[in-house]
Structure 1
Amino acid sequence: MQIKKEIQVAGRNFGIEFGERGMLSDAAIFMNYGETVVMVNANASEKPRDGIDFFPLAVDYEEKMYAVGKIPGGFIKREGRPTEKAILSGRAIDRPLRPLFPKGYRNDVQVVCSVLSVENDNLPEILAINGAAFALLISSVPYTTPLAAVMVGLVDGEFILNPTSKEREESLLSLTVCATEDRVMMIEAGAKEIDEDTMIAAIDFGFKACQPIIEMQKEITAAYGKEKKVPVLYTLNQDLEQEVRAFAKDLIAEAMHMVDKDERSKKIDEVKTKVAEAFNEKYPEGKSDISETLYLLQKETVRDMAILEHKRIDGRAFDEIRPLAAEVAVLPRTHGSGIFSRGSTQVMAVTTLGAIGDIQILDGVSEEESKRYIHHYNFPSYSVGETRPMRGPGRREIGHGALAEKALEPLIPNEEEFPYTIRVVSEVLSSNGSTSQASVCASTLALLDAGVPLMRPAAGIAMGLFTTDDLSMEEIVTDIQGVEDFFGDMDFKVAGTSKGITAIQVDTKIAGLSPACIEKSIRDAKTARFEILEVMESAIVEPRPEVSKYAPKITTLQINPDKIRDVIGSGGKVINKIIAETGVKIDIDDTGKVFVGGPDIEMVKKAVAIIEGIVKEVVPGEIYLGKVIKIMPFGAFIEILPNKEGLCHISKLDMKRVEKVEDVVEIGDEILVKVTEIDQQGRINLSRRDALIEMEKKEKAAKEEE
């Protein structure tokens, strides 16, 4: 039986269908919002996966190009590796779901969200989060917590629920809020310098807007949900756990109270060695349980220190930032560079400026077709003192790069003000917590060093959280380091300027965040951000007045769109000749805007002059200095402007009668000619005689005046 249910969300139909499609999946549903349709399939393995110590949840977000009536680009003409947008959407679905599964559940779970139809007013990624929760709730997979997601915009001072395409263009805010009945699970925001009060109110607006969807989930699950399978949860060997705890608890506590990171790590390694010597022989198959017990002891110690002792592992106050440092121009030949350090977290960013033609072309289902500002993030193994094969960027690297890009994108000057394609690469040199926000800081330094006129400098900070198991007590800390991120309950990243917030990303390991936690985190992050910006200003206050001598010099000019074909020429003949002659790069858009760039400013000026000559209109009655390019018995053809030539008849070559054209001019001569006529076919008639007469008159008049 096909089940179909709908409610109204922001004035549009929000519905679910299931029952007769994808019958072999544990749950297969079609979610629709307006004319956007996402199919979600949820399945789990029958048994836990052996030999692992984590929950193997896989979320795949698949963009089908037919959803927007496109055929995929490239040679193969079919969907291949997910786009970065699809990877980010998959991460956004995974992050709020993962903490809500039963602890110790180690069955493989796969959620596949396939985008089948896209209406630009209704974003499929928001629909997919809701669809994933719906599918898991009605399946037999032991997932039981309703979860909803909405987008919040801000237009003319009013919050907009799930803004349309036009509203998103006008909005100062792009906020995704994912929530359960009583807590916020995930926040993802990009903003144009939104103040803290407005952001807090927007999150609350989004939380409340999630509730009707949650009620719908509860009703459908109660009526049509499958019976949940009893999960086989992994539990530690109780005897082993008790013995290891008794042996190692004080040793772990002593180690975790060491302020110095290196000394603490060394001490923990010593404890692990002692525990292994004491228990490996007695429990030969218990290595995994021993490791898990030691992890729990470390986690409990860090939490107890924060909640009961009101102390942080490195001795800092809860609102204290680690030592900061900033420097610019660290690389001699790059267009811009900077290094930002926060404690032992250190990121180097490098800016490269390119021509407008260097923009990134995007092939996906979203409205965005290209990117002019590109941010990439690299996290090599040496940044944490480890070894592993050097592969391409993973989902984490793509996510961190996108977050830094989102934080800085509102501050990038527009194409008219700064006609460059901009790429920033963040290289993590050393990682001990919140490298994504250090990337925001380092990238700001590199952009300013490159002469990019940012609206304002931006900085980022990560807030952390420690709670009790029942969530009754909590402590929020500023600038979490690696161990606090690893053992803590929240990674609350906030980036922005002195004016307001530009980006937020929140991950949590617990059943959500309270309103008080969200508000305090945002307000404390503002205080920290201002402190960081002050240190960054000690390295560079404003953009360099000029771009690097190694960066391309770009000039723009506007031509009549009807003249584009003249500049390009048949088969690109004209534009390629200009490029070959000057060594510049030329890009022309459909509006007639021309971008000319190259390393040599004189060659750029030369190319611009040639283009201006090509598009300049020939005016009858005006005198031009032309070049003889061809001689015929009846006259000479003279190029008076680039790619524009006319005929000077033999009878008009001189004041006197001319027997032979070569008696007056030769190929390559430059002579003055007057345009006497442009006929109906566009042919230009010239007269050297008329030009000589007119010049003679001007000379005579000048002498008389003198």
Structure 2
Amino acid sequence: MSEIIQTTIAGRTLKVDYGKIGRLSNCAFFISYGDTVVLINANASDKPREGVDFFPLSIEYEERLYSVGKIPGGFIKREGKPSEKAILHARAIDRPLRPLFPKGYRNDVQVVCTVVSVDQDNAPDILAINGASLALCMSSIPFTTPVGAVSVGLVDGKFVINPGLEERSKSSLNLTVCATDERVMMVEAGGDEIPEDTMYDAIMFGFEECKKIVAFQKETMNKYGKQKEEPELYKVEESIEEEVRKFAFQKIKDAMYIMDRDERNAALEDVDKELNEQFSEKYPDNGSDIADVVYKIKKEIVRNMMLNEHRRVDGRAFDEIRPISCEVGILPRTHGTGLFTRGLTQVMTVATLGSLGDVQILDGVGTEESKRYIHHYNFPSYSTGETRPLRGPGRREIGHGALAEKALEPLIPSEDQFPYTIRLVSEVLSSNGSTSQASICGSTLALLDAGVPIKRPAAGIAMGLITSEDLSKEEIVTDIQGIEDFFGDMDFKVGGTEKGITAIQFDTKIHGLSENCIRETLNRARTARLFILDKIHKCIPEAREELSEYAPKTYTMSISPDKIRDVIGAGGKVINKIIAETGVKIDIKEDGKIFVMSEDSSSAKKALKIIEDLTREVKAGEIYLGKVTKTTNFGAFVEILPGKEGLVHISKLDFTRVNKVEDVVSVGDKILVKVTDIDNQGRINLSRKDAIKDSEENNSKENSSKENNLKQNK
């Protein structure tokens, strides 16, 4: 059975083509919005995966370059590993869906979203979230709470749902809202310093549209969905849980009430040893069950402490930020460094300035082809005092780096203001919560230390939440540490300046956030952000006036666009020769702007002079110091500017008759010549004797002027 199911969202048709394709998948369909089409497939294993203590959900977001009529670059000519954007989109799909599965469900679940056609006015990532939710709802997988997703723009002071390409280029806000019909599940935002009230209104505006999408999904699920399987949920045997609780609850509670982190962890390790001695012989095959009970006990204690006793694990007030310190210039040979410490969380960011030719080339389905501001984030095992093999960045590292990049991007000066490629690398040196937000702070310090004239400093803060089982009670906490993130209900990250918000990322472990919680969190995050910005300002109030002596210097000039070919030359011969002679880097834009970069100013000026000469127009009547390149029996050819030669006829070489050209000049000689004529074919006629005559007359005038000045002075 093939069915076309559709609805209208923001004036455009959202269509699901179900039953035609992927008939061996649990659920498969094409979902389209405009000409953007995503293929969705959802499947689950028949049995729970054994030996795991987590829900093995896998969300894959696959971009096919044929969707935008491109052939992949490189030698292999096929798609490889997912792009960073694809990884970020997969994370955005995962975060709102994961909390809505039944607790204890441990079957492998995989949702694959394959982008097969892209209309740039309709974003495939938003479509994929809606498609993934609908596929899970229509499948036999035990998922019954649909979520809707929209993007929200702010164009000319008005909110726009799912803005098109032109609207996105004008929008000061790029917001993704994902929600059930009752609560907001996930928000991703990047903005140009958006005020808190405006951001809240935008989230609520998107929330209302999400409700319509959820209603469509529910109707579709009820009409076409499969019978849901009865899930086999993992649960610890009651007898084991009762014994472990009776033996360990008070011991764990006593340990959890120790404020010092190291002492607390040491006490908890002692409890683990006692548990092992007590139960290893009786329950040799139930280690994971015992660990699961211990986790639940810790979670109960922490949540009760915060929700009912109004006390945090480390004794701080709910709105109190851990001690902060800021330093800059800590590495001697880098272009800029910032070291930001908040409690036991510490991040060092290093800024590197490069030429515009160092931009990152992007090969994806979007319209962006390159970027000159890049932020990378590294989270090594030593940051938590652990050991594990060092690998490339995972999804978490890529996500945290992208969030910090988004927070600072609106503040980076334009190419015209600051013609450099900027790369930031945040190294997490110590982690106890909120390292992504510490990266924003460390990056601000590094940019200022590097002399980058950012619009304003930015800072980030992570907010947490503890709720009661029925969600009737909730406590919001500022600057969450690791244990509060681990046992809490949300991680609400807000980055921005004193003026407004530049980035948000939040997700929850519960069934969404209330409207009041969102508003209050935004306001408290602002208070915390201003506190941190004051610390940054006291460390380094503004960008350094001069770049590091080890940073390359950029010099700019402009030429007529039709002269670009003269600078580049056939096959890049001319520009490569300039680079070889001077050791500089040269970037040329289509509008004729030229950027020359070098650590040595004299080399840069030499390159600029060569380019200037290459692009100068030869004019009749001007005198040049040229170089003889060739002699003939009728005259000498002289190069007066790079690539531009003229002929000095033998009769124009000297004031007396010349029998042989070589009697006056030889190849390699530098001589003064005057342009006497440029014919219709562009051939340049030169005269040595006219240049000498003009020079002598000028010298005579100068000497006469000097004599007159001397007489007047006497």
**Which TM-score bucket, shorter chain as reference?**
over 0.9
Counterpart AA for 2:105: Y
Aligned partners of 2:194 and 2:499 also within 8 Å: yes
- 2: distance between equivalents of 1:63 and 1:571? 34
- 2: distance between equivalents of 1:4 and 1:145? 22
Partner of 1:150: 150
Shift of 1:249: 1.2
Partner of 2:208: 208
- 1: distance between equivalents of 2:245 and 2:193? 49
Task: Map 1:44-443 to 2 at 5 A.
Answer: 44-443=44-443
Partner of 1:649: 649
Deviates more, 1:50-59 or 1:8-17: 8-17
Q: How many residues align?
A: 706
Task: Map 1:610-621 to 2 at 5 A.
Answer: 610-621=610-621
- 1: distance between equivalents of 2:310 and 2:189? 31
Deviates more, 1:106-115 or 1:603-612: 603-612
Deviates more, 1:636-645 or 1:390-399: 636-645
Shift of 1:565: 1.2
- 2: distance between equivalents of 1:93 and 1:245? 37
Counterpart AA for 1:493: K
Counterpart AA for 1:224: Y
Deviates more, 1:619-628 or 1:521-530: 619-628
Point out where structure 1 has 5 or more consecutive residues left out of the alignment. none
Shift of 1:693: 3.1
Aligned partners of 2:349 and 2:426 also within 8 Å: yes
Shift of 1:668: 2.7
Shift of 1:698: 3.6
SS in 2 for 1:319: coil
Counterpart AA for 1:74: G
Partner of 2:598: 598
Shift of 1:702: 5.0
Deviations 1:652-692 (A, max 9, x none): 11122111112222223222211122222222111112223
- 2: distance between equivalents of 1:629 and 1:382? 65
Partner of 2:524: 524
Shift of 1:704: 6.0
CA 1:353–1:703 in 2, change beyond 3 Å: closer, same or farther?
closer
- 2: distance between equivalents of 1:229 and 1:663? 103
Residue 480 of structure 2 is aligned to residue 480 of structure 1: yes
Shift of 1:422: 0.5
- 2: distance between equivalents of 1:92 and 1:284? 40
- 1: distance between equivalents of 2:699 and 2:262? 89
Deviates more, 1:693-702 or 1:550-559: 693-702
- 2: distance between equivalents of 1:402 and 1:257? 36
Deviations 1:480-513 (A, max 9, x none): 0000000101000000011110000002101000
SS in 1 for 2:586: strand
- 1: distance between equivalents of 2:690 and 2:113? 77
Deviations 1:298-335 (A, max 9, x none): 00001001110000000000000000000000000000
- 2: distance between equivalents of 1:629 and 1:333? 45
Aligned partners of 2:142 and 2:228 also within 8 Å: yes
- 2: distance between equivalents of 1:286 and 1:584? 66
- 1: distance between equivalents of 2:199 and 2:16? 31
- 2: distance between equivalents of 1:76 and 1:557? 39
Partner of 2:492: 492
- 2: distance between equivalents of 1:283 and 1:343? 40
Residue 595 of structure 2 is aligned to residue 609 of structure 1: no
Aligned partners of 2:351 and 2:423 also within 8 Å: yes
Shift of 1:420: 0.4
Shift of 1:297: 0.5
Residue 664 of structure 2 is aligned to residue 664 of structure 1: yes
Aligned partners of 2:20 and 2:29 also within 8 Å: no
Aligned partners of 2:434 and 2:480 also within 8 Å: yes
- TM-score by structure 2 length? 0.98
- 2: distance between equivalents of 1:695 and 1:343? 75
Partner of 1:634: 634
Partner of 1:28: 28
Deviations 1:185-215 (A, max 9, x none): 0000000100101000000001001111111
Shift of 1:630: 1.9
SS in 1 for 2:613: helix
Shift of 1:61: 0.1
Partner of 1:567: 567
Partner of 2:17: 17
- 2: distance between equivalents of 1:554 and 1:231? 63
Shift of 1:594: 1.1
Deviates more, 1:647-656 or 1:180-189: 647-656
Counterpart AA for 1:454: I
Deviates more, 1:103-112 or 1:633-642: 633-642
- 2: distance between equivalents of 1:669 and 1:25? 81
Counterpart AA for 1:121: D
Counterpart AA for 1:695: S
Shift of 1:703: 5.8
SS in 1 for 2:213: helix
Partner of 2:712: none
- 2: distance between equivalents of 1:703 and 1:502? 67
Partner of 1:682: 682
SS in 2 for 1:672: strand
SS in 1 for 2:181: coil
Shift of 1:431: 0.2
SS in 2 for 1:393: coil
- 2: distance between equivalents of 1:266 and 1:698? 91
- 1: distance between equivalents of 2:390 and 2:105? 31
Partner of 2:539: 539
Aligned partners of 2:61 and 2:114 also within 8 Å: yes
SS in 2 for 1:438: helix
Shift of 1:592: 1.6
- 2: distance between equivalents of 1:219 and 1:302? 40
- 2: distance between equivalents of 1:567 and 1:680? 23
Partner of 1:548: 548
Partner of 1:456: 456
- 1: distance between equivalents of 2:702 and 2:531? 70
Counterpart AA for 2:483: V
- Report sequence identity in percent: 65
Counterpart AA for 1:299: K
Point out where structure 2 has 5 or more consecutive residues left out of the alignment. 709-714
- 1: distance between equivalents of 2:623 and 2:10? 66
Shift of 1:700: 4.8
Counterpart AA for 2:197: D
- 2: distance between equivalents of 1:342 and 1:657? 87
- 1: distance between equivalents of 2:561 and 2:5? 52
- 2: distance between equivalents of 1:619 and 1:127? 61
- 1: distance between equivalents of 2:656 and 2:167? 73
SS in 1 for 2:438: helix
Deviations 1:195-254 (A, max 9, x none): 101000000001001111111101111100000000000011111101111111111111
- 1: distance between equivalents of 2:686 and 2:576? 29
Shift of 1:632: 1.7
Shift of 1:33: 0.5
SS in 2 for 1:507: strand
Deviations 1:127-150 (A, max 9, x none): 000000010010000000010000
Partner of 1:577: 577
